[in-house]
Amino acid sequence: MPTFSPDSVLASLSLEDKVRLLCGKDAWHLHGLPEHNVPEVTLTDGPHGVRLTDEHTLNDNTHPATVFPVEAAMAATWNPELLHDAAAAIGRECQALNVGVLLGPGLNGKRSPLGGRNFEYFSEDPQLTGIMATAYVQGLQSEGVGGCIKHFVGNEQETRRFLINAEIDERTLQEIYLAPFAKAIREAQPWTVMGAYNSLNGEFCCQNSDVLQRLLREELGFDGLVMSDWSAVQDKVLAHANGLDLEMPGPALRDDELLQAVRNGDVAESVLDERVIRVLRLIKRIEEEQRPVTVDWEAHHELAVRVATEAIVLLKHEQSLLPLSTQSTTALIGEFATEPRFQGGGSSHMKPKGMTLPLSALEQRGTVRYAQGYKDTGTTDELIAEAVTVAREADQVVLLTGTTDSMESEGFDRANMELAPDHVRLIRAVAKANPKLVVVMQSGSAMDTRAIEDAAPVILQAWLPGQGGGEALARVLCGEVSPSGKLSETLPLRLEHNPTYETFPGNKTDVTYHEGLFVGYRYYDTKKLPVAYPFGHGLSYTTFDLNDLRIEQNGNDAPARLQVTVTNTGQVAGAETVQVYIHDEVSTLRRPEQELKGLAKVHLEPGGSETVTVTLDERAFACYVTHLGRWAVESGRFEIRVGTSSRDIRLREWISVESETEVRILPSLEDPVEEWLADSRTSPVMRSVLDDLGFDDQHPMAAIVRGFPIPQLVKFIPWMGHDEATAQRAFQRLAEQRSAVG
């Protein structure tokens, strides 16, 4: 096959050729240069499978491919090794379909349960998102297909997503929204990054030099190609000048603007060359990584089933109703049993290569009586009556409910967290007919379960489980596999408890992330608010003990390594996820009550034990210190909390961490007396000065004096009977001490 050298090709290109390469040829292809042996290459949507269209336009005429569970479900497995394998399978399908870059995974956060695209993002927690995204990118790229982590950055809503300006303070940006990108870039080296539609702090992300240059290139060290989200470029000249390499999609409509800017000297041709060489290097890499592949579709389907199985979260289990008895008659109720809700709406919507339906999967295992129950979000008296009759005549009932494309999709945010009212009416009617009821929710994000809690002794969260969802559900319901999924996001008691309730999705122009670091469980746990089901929660058919916590510190700042022994104390095989949270005893900067910093999933036979190891990386004890402009660890005591959810902590141990970094801001000569007294570096001299002046804690003016800024204190001293020279000497002592410390 003829090949090319990116550097040689760049040196021979005309200005017009260079500009042409910086925009897609059409919706899914990059320009080739036949005269230079530069081939056209294909990009296509992901992230839970290959969404490849026949045409060069944005349509749904897709090639069939394996539809894996959505990212929210992938994260609920808490199994990065399994996700690596699934992404590698997606990579093989990309190779078979001649796709060079898959547009995924999505790493955005979940400020609110109402985010319309939450199903396409991993988690409310940046560490879990980073771990799963890293595994995904490594798996995909192990098959020679480039990952495209997206949407960089601050794209946490669909409302006015093309226009909204996200106002995010630097610490929140670094610790919550950049952190997953940073981890994936450091550990997986994705080939490409996609810029977001929205503005960040006043400038559109795809033309924001702070986003594309300072954050992405300089701080995160990304050296691959940066492309726009589809039609996200507002100002083509500014975008390429400030760090964007590739505008998508084509055909180009504004090439003349960029050409003119270069000819006028508004954009240096050397800057253009930096963008062009990255496009050429990407095409070269795709070409070099092309390989013949024969896809084992059956194996990929089984892998999709495995992911869906491990993603199912057993939220509630009363009356020992599960596993189902395959010797008894099961009533299966709900349209999703025959027309499953298996994927989200929008750009990730795929045509499945195969499909297993819940009805057929359960029928293979026992006697099943089916009733439709509802159509989309609605029902009728006749449908309810049929469902009630079927339920009454059965030994056990499984009812499928959840969201529909009209409730949850790319393009709009959800109106609420609630199940459709008619679904609730159906559930309550069926529960009266047969209380042995298992409710299965199929949705891409958090649901409000209050309306069904008293009616449903068993509730499972099955997410949007992909093409193998029916088989996965049957395996769990019938006890062939013990459920091991853990919530990747909190299910709050009610929407009003969410910290973004008053601010999501913002006003017409701006959305301010007022909640800061306190997103998801970081907020609920800090506020000690009751929740329906906590972050990391998930029940099993067996039980596990965690014991023998051992911690080894490898340095002053970190990292540290800990070991925990997990024992299956039940009667069936199962898997448990060890979750490691860190609590900072005292911090200069406000921190959440606890933060997830590590995890390990282990499968055990009954009576089996295994010691798992979790390594805490260099960021485990650190926070972003804005006035230092970097991450830093503050000396102090940290509690290592090990459990099976954020609200089920089994083991605790304190460790001390020493750091050479001073995080505290030294009080200035303009600050109040009380700040000098609160800082150990300045408290002694301030107390000495106050004592000399007679302002001890017993003085009637002591409380007032503590609130004085230093200049006001100096002015006040003569009013208390001291001469001005005494006041000046006091000020001099404070100035000298601050200078000595600072």
Show which residues are catalytic: 229
CB 426 within 8 A of CB 505: no
- Our separate counts of H helices and E strands in the chain read 22, 27
- 3-class DSSP state of 21: helix
Selection from 229, 216, 131, 115 nearest residue 180 by Cα: 131
CB 151 within 8 A of CB 229: yes
Query: What residues contact 695, with CB distance under 8 A and at least 6 apart?
Result: 701, 702, 705, 720
Query: What residues contact 718, with CB distance under 8 A and at least 6 apart?
Result: 724, 727
Q: Is 639 exposed, middle or buried (0-12, 13-18, 19+ CB in 10 A)?
A: middle
CB 472 within 8 A of CB 464: no
Strand partners for 564:
612
Cα–Cα distance, 346 to 348 (Å, whole number): 6
Cα–Cα distance, 646 to 25 (Å, whole number): 48
CB 419 within 8 A of CB 452: yes
What number of other Cβ atoms are within 10 A of residue 260's Cβ? 12
Give, to the nearest 10 degrees, the angle between helix 724-741 and helix 683-693: 170
Q: In degrees rounded to 5, what are phi and psi of residue 204? A: -55, 135
Residue with the two structure tokens 């790229």: 141
Q: Is 294 exposed, middle or buried (0-12, 13-18, 19+ CB in 10 A)?
A: exposed
Residue 603, token pair as written in the block: 């499968």
CB 140 within 8 A of CB 90: yes
What number of other Cβ atoms are within 10 A of residue 1's Cβ? 7
Residue with the two structure tokens 């049929």: 386
